[in-house]
Amino acid sequence: MNYIDNIRLDDCFTKDNDLALMNGVQALVRLLIEQAKLDKDNGLVTHGYVSGYPGSPLGTLDLELGRSKKHLEKHNIIFQPAVNEELAATAAWGTQMLGLYDRPQIDGVFSMWYGKGPGLDRSMDALRHANMGGVSMKGGMVLAVADDPIGKSSTIAYQSEQSLISAGIPVFYPANVDEVIPMGLQAFALSRHAGVCVALKITSDTADSNSVIDLGKLRPISSKLENPINVHVNRHDPALDREAALIKRRIPASKDFIKQNKINNVIFNPTKKTLGIISVGKATTETIDALDKIGIKDPERSGIGLFACKIPWPLIDQEIINFCKNFEEILVIEEKASIVEEQVAHILFNSKSRPRLSGKLDASSKEELVPKISELSSDIIADCLLKKAIHSSISIDIPKTKSEAIGGNLPPVVSRTPWYCAGCPHNSGTKTPDEEVVGIGIGCHSIGYFLHPEKLTNFSQMGGEGGHWIGRAPFSNHKHTFQNIGDGTYAHSGSLAIRAAVSANVNITFKILYNDAVAMTGGQKAIGGATPWAISKQLAAEGVKKIYVVSDEPEQFKETKLFADKVGIFHRDELINIQKEVREISGVTAIIYVQTCATELRRRRKRGYVQDRDIKMYINPDVCEGCGDCAEKSNCVAVKPFEHLEGIKRQIDQSVCNKDYSCKKGFCPSFIGVQAGSISIKEKKKFPDIPEIINDIKKT
């Protein structure tokens, strides 16, 4: 049998040895499974718990956890998606209190919280309480913090360390997918040992990349340590006792654990000590690449040392003193703020051997060196190393031509403006009367920012939708504003902002874009979300003055008595008129715009959960005059221009069309609806057989 026949997609969850392919998100799932197995092997009876809220770069973790349900259940791990990150953190801490109040039949629960940077910020109150209160000895609490350093798919570029450090939470920073499981197991072990919450910082690069992992080597060797006293979760300790437990016992015990387990390590230790580099997290891999890029094949021979700092906080004084000893200069390579550099400066200040310290600034030239913003790449680091060579007496053997090669080895990347998916409800639901502007927020409707920025006011954090207007309204020349808010955001925290607007008595119309999904992060179900009729009743109970429901299929709401009293239900064609009416009403009004996310609808149709629409729209090129009205009316990416002998005309790209039919709104005679038609596929594509060489992989 071919070796490849034995490879399964879920090998990374099921196998105990052998190689398995996994991405950073799957590595987090396997981490939980591995922790369960480890406990079992050690004779502990534990269960697992995982809760959080999706957000990039861990936007797909909950989907992966959902897909792996059977594997998780086998190991007694419960996955409970949360209404928002703060409540997830509170629940995860709750699992640590089991032994105090619940007379459990198990030894403990190891729990994992996940969320993106802004989710960490909103959870800080809960996490600060958890870290002050402590974690159980046979449980453990690890936070998978999704860091998006360049704001690739976030409203802000994020670095989590500062928030975590402020709460005294140790930060583990795996450099790549390979380190996620071993470091995650160490994080759980530390959490149990010192009674602290421990963060596992996962950047976009780690979450999104794949690696073939040796499943037989997941478990790090751990040192046997003496158990610290009075560090674990306790009943109702006074605030100052909890502070003392954290500062005087948990953090010192954490440092002892990190030191004894040798989690940070020295990679290059030259005899001639010229430049000692301390690289943090994923900067280690990039620094090694950078050294290679500038022609330094043997760093130790060039007098270069490298200390891989895997735990940016807290640093272990003795490790830093030992590494830095006798170096002429130390260079700290870390992205964004100088978290490690400042600790190094503090540690070295009173030490006997005090080398020059470079990092964000070059110690000799005082010029900027390692960038303070965005993320680091091997090219940027190579550039820093070159600058170091120019601005100091340190001689690094760099071939001149190599420097020119930096950054020049990648083809230029084509960029395009983000756009709504074909048939997206936001194409229609976000429309406003011409003269109006509308508040932006979190979710797919924010894509509008790229399409018509002049129509939108500034975005807020998730759940802050409408809050800006509460501050602006008393001073504004406008009497009223509109505010978009997704149904996922409404369930997460946004309903509170509506309550705030009612209590501030401002004139605002919330447009609740009910697309029946938390679409931007992958089409999840809104946890704690409600039906349009339940939302209408919630809004009415909060004091919203007038509520409309607008939909592409208003006929689906025949049971009008399910809705709050006096709710008007209309077709989306009436949206503009309704907005003109509600803007004249003083106080808070709402329009619930109901149309399913087109991508979600496509999935549901494919899986047979909802009936497909059987009409396909075509544009007759002989009739089309190329005016573009259909594209403008629908705003749909599936309506594409194509070159015709008579000039540019329009056609519908059937491969992306989601049958929203808003393109035919212009009553153009070119449109043809074909019932029950299917696209003819000329020949099924054949793929070549996988070459036999694959067979040999296992043997080597």
Ligand X SMILES: Cc1ncc(C[n+]2csc(CCOP(=O)(O)OP(=O)(O)O)c2C)c(N)n1
The contact set with ligand SF4 (CB under 6 A) reads 420-421, 424, 426, 444, 515, 519-520, 597-599, 619, 624-630, 649-650, 666, 668, 670
| HSE, side-chain direction, 13 A CA sphere, residue 648 | 7
Nearer to ligand X, 270 or 443 (CB): 443
C-alpha to C-alpha distance for 397 and 408, rounded to whole angstroms? 20
**Partner in contact with 521, chosen from ligand X, ligand SF4, none, beta carbon below 5 to 8 Å by kind:** ligand X
Choice from 48, 52, 108, 119 touching ligand X (CB under 6 A): 119
Name which of 30, 410, 422 is nearest 211 in CA terms: 30
Nearer to ligand X, 331 or 497 (CB): 497
**Partner in contact with 627, chosen from ligand SF4, ligand X, none, beta carbon below 5 to 8 Å by kind:** ligand SF4
Nearer to ligand X, 186 or 427 (CB): 427
Nearer to ligand SF4, 298 or 625 (CB): 625
Biggest CA–CA distance in the chain, Å, is 86
Nearer to ligand SF4, 249 or 602 (CB): 602
**Could you tell me the smallest distance in angstroms from the CB atom of residue 474 to ligand SF4?**
34
Choice from 149, 276, 488, 532 touching ligand X (CB under 6 A): 488
3-class DSSP state for residue 51?
A: strand
Name which of 590, 538, 586 is nearest 563 in CA terms: 538
| HSE, side-chain direction, 13 A CA sphere, residue 630 | 27
Strand 265-268, strand 210-214: pairing:
unpaired
DSSP string, 619-639: E-TTT-----HHHHHH--TTE
Q: Does the footprint of ligand X cover residue 518 (CB under 6 A)?
A: yes
C-alpha to C-alpha distance for 317 and 305, rounded to whole angstroms? 18
**Partner in contact with 375, chosen from ligand X, ligand SF4, none, beta carbon below 5 to 8 Å by kind:** none
DSSP string, 351-413: SSS--EEESSB-TTT--B-S-SSS---HHHHHHHHHHHHHHSS------HHHHHHTT-SSPPP
Nearer to ligand SF4, 149 or 529 (CB): 529
User: Which one-letter amino acid corresponds to residue 326?
Assistant: N
Q: Does the footprint of ligand X cover residue 604 (CB under 6 A)?
A: no
Choice from 71, 75, 116, 138 touching ligand X (CB under 6 A): 116
Nearer to ligand X, 445 or 468 (CB): 445
User: Which one-letter amino acid corresponds to residue 11?
Assistant: D
Nearer to ligand X, 114 or 268 (CB): 114
Name which of 481, 467, 487, 509 is nearest 426 in CA terms: 487
Name which of 335, 329, 332 is nearest 315 in CA terms: 332
Tokens of 188: 């759980």
The piece of 115-123, 323-331, 339-347, 533-541 that touches ligand X (CB under 6 A) is: 115-123
Choice from 60, 203, 211, 521 touching ligand X (CB under 6 A): 521
Q: Does the footprint of ligand X cover residue 650 (CB under 6 A)?
A: no
**In contact, 360 and 370? CB cutoff 8 Å:** yes
**Could you tell me the smallest distance in angstroms from the CB atom of residue 650 to ligand SF4?**
4
Spacing of C-alpha 266 from chain mean position: 31
Spacing of C-alpha 683 from chain mean position: 40
Q: Does the footprint of ligand X cover residue 462 (CB under 6 A)?
A: yes
Kindly report whether the peptide bond that precedes residue 314 is cis, defined as omega within 30 degrees of 0.
yes
**Partner in contact with 670, chosen from ligand SF4, ligand X, none, beta carbon below 5 to 8 Å by kind:** ligand SF4
Q: Does the footprint of ligand X cover residue 48 (CB under 6 A)?
A: no
Q: Does the footprint of ligand X cover residue 443 (CB under 6 A)?
A: yes
Chain positions contacting ligand X, by CB under 6 A: 53-55, 85, 116, 118-119, 122, 442-445, 462, 486-489, 513, 515, 517-521
